[in-house]
Amino acid sequence: MPPWARPRHPLSTISGLLAASIRDHPDAVAVVTPGGPDLTYAALGRMLDTIAGRLAAAGFGRGTRVGIALPDGPELAVALLAVCSAATCAPLNADLDEAALVRLLHSMRIDALIVAKDPVSAVVRAARHAGVTLIALRCSTWDPDGVDLVPESTRDSAAVEEPLADDVGFLMHTSGTTGAPKIVPWKQWSVAEAVRNRIELSGMDASDRCLVALPLHSSAGIRRMLSGLLTGGSIICAGALTTDATIELLESLAPTQYFAPPASHIALLEAFERRTPRPRHCLKALWSGTTELPDAICARLERTFGVPIIVGYGTTESGCVAHAPLPPARAPAGSVGRAVNVELGIMDDAGLFLGPEETGEIVVRGPEVFDGYENDDDANRAAFRDGWFRTGDIGHIDRDGFVYLLGRQADIINRGGMKVAPSEVESALARHPKVVEAAAFAIAHPTLGQDLAAAVVLRDQVSESELRRFLRAGLATFKIPTRIVDVAQLPRGASGKLARSELAALVAATIGRGNEPPVGREETEIARIFADVLKVPSVGRRDNFFDLGGDSLSAINALAAVDAALGVSVRLEVLFDCPTVSEFAAAISERKRLSAAHPAPTALGRIERRR
């Protein structure tokens, strides 16, 4: 019997679990509102009953689909809990553009949409375009009399029909990073099972106060919110937070658990390291999810905060797949932990399971794994193989059962037949003391098909060639990015995942624009050689040899021509480190200077010394 095949818990609905928590902790604080009154469990129960009853009176109870497009904060948390306790809840990102909202409202078959009292116009236009009933919500106070729900016809409450275990509690959608978003139904019992597992894994209890810096409309945000409440502890709902605001909350509200995506952890780490004295905090642990966090960043976080950083791995479709153990146990560097509450395997392209340390696609099955995308037979045929859900992530499992991620299958870069995992390059770049964070991605290449590029956020200036030399100490040559661009911040989607396609477009827009003519004899000669070898009309001093179609073979030909024309023999690595005309010419000049200062002995001289 697999480890997850056990009898379902008697409380197999979200409303059942919430009711138990409200009954057991009536006077405890459930929701902490910065700058406002806190919401106790008893008050939360009254609020949920009021909102659910008014929705039922308006005809939006069990069996209907109620979307929510509210900004992050306490009202969104309360609305999510109320709707999933009475109907099917469909959380939406209120910041999406009108066209994206219309597509989601249609594909998710939403009956009504809860919006803010003064909603953004894009949300209103999208709902009207899709023919969806708008319901405005405002909680002026944390009691039933403070609930303002429009239209007026919803003011008289109706009896709420309790959802059943097999009802859809949440209707989610994928991030759409590799195509159009797909609709993911979460059944009540599956969500209840997932949350109980998270509580067991986290070791949290009623004494914990959780700062959830994840979007509450996301799968990770919802699960973390529920796990914080179903322990009898409290959650801090502060909405979108700046780094300074996060530090202020750490000091003033004393959360014990901090859940955030990697970008937030990195920004907080940078701010803490700059401040003297360090800000105070009462954290027991930092939790990271949604995407990979480099080992170097994890180590710095643990040193700076003096608490463990606990990583995990999951998807919208499969819930929590792997989880690092709690201290004093530790996962090996680079691992996201062991499989939890699921069966996990590594499968090759032919559908055969691979052994320890062998790399392939991660596949899972278990109670948290969904049954299939809604109304999408093609997607389901592609997503499942022999009952196993194909995550689309590439990784391996070691002999002790620890899981290692290499990245999304769609993100793996095929550099002329050599496969490069972005996470390996990103982790190596993150170890440089001047790099805050990094992203590796594919760009088009005339002969290789794909080439490797990277973007970095820097704390101090450093040249591309210096970064490439740094990488060479730990990575194979084919894993060194041809282009490394400096950006103010890495673009991310609503769920916190890197938008690699945006970075690829940014680099593509700069290729072929190096019209600055070469300066001096060496640059002129090198530009001529590059143009001859690559069969292009002309080359500017800022043009990159590999952007113009160069590869390892053509690089060897170029170096031979440079040796013949300029009398300087250089290694292939020099061109990889200095791929523009100006950089390569500077490297040639430095090579000449060193040769003049330290001339090599003649063959005769070497023979004489042997004698």
Beta-bridged to residue 437, according to DSSP, are 457
E-assigned strands of 477-542?
A: 483-486
Give pLDDT, residue 408.
Answer: 85
Give pLDDT, residue 249.
Answer: 94
Q: Is 604 helix (H, G, I), strand (E, B) or coil?
A: helix
How many percent of the chain have pLDDT more than 70?
92
The fold adopted by the segment(s) 412-510 is: GMP Synthetase; Chain A, domain 3 (3.30.300)
Give pLDDT, residue 367.
Answer: 83
Give pLDDT, residue 32.
Answer: 93
Give pLDDT, residue 511.
Answer: 67
Sequence letter at residue 593: R
Q: How far apart (Å, rounded) are the C-alpha atoms in residues 336 and 315?
A: 13
What parts of the chain have a pLDDT lower than 50? Answer: 1-8, 152-155, 177-178, 601-611
Give pLDDT, residue 308.
Answer: 94
Per-domain residue ranges of the chain? 412-510, 520-597
Q: Report residue 222 as tokens.
A: 């919802």
Which distant-in-sequence residues (6+ apart) come within 8 Å of 231 by Cβ?
Answer: 21, 199, 204, 205, 206, 208
Class of domain 520-597: mainly alpha
Q: What does residue 374 show for φ and ψ, rounded to 5 degrees?
A: -80, 130
Supply the pTM of this predicted model. 0.78
The DSSP line for 147-164 is EEEESGGGSS--PPPPPP
Would you say 366 and 321 are in contact if contact means Cβ atoms under 8 Å apart?
A: no
Give pLDDT, residue 3.
Answer: 41
Burial of 125 (0-12, 13-18, 19+ CB in 10 A): middle
The DSSP line for 320-361 is EEEEPPPTTS-PPTTEEEEE-SSEEEEE-TTSPBP-TT--EE
Closest CA to 465 of 582, 592, 576: 576
392-428 pLDDT tens trace: 999 999 999 999 998 888 888 888 778 888 988 999 9
Give pLDDT, residue 444.
Answer: 85
Q: Is 375 left (phi over 0), alpha (psi -120 to 50) or beta?
A: left
Would you say 150 and 136 are in contact if contact means Cβ atoms under 8 Å apart?
A: yes
Q: Report residue 503 as tokens.
A: 């970075």
Give the β-pairing of 388-397 and 402-408.
antiparallel
Q: How far apart (Å, rounded) are the C-alpha atoms in residues 149 and 374?
A: 30
Give pLDDT, residue 567.
Answer: 86
Q: Which residue has the tokens 């099972």?
A: 193
The DSSP line for 294-330 is -HHHHHHHHHHHSS-EEEEEEETTTEEEEEPPPTTS-
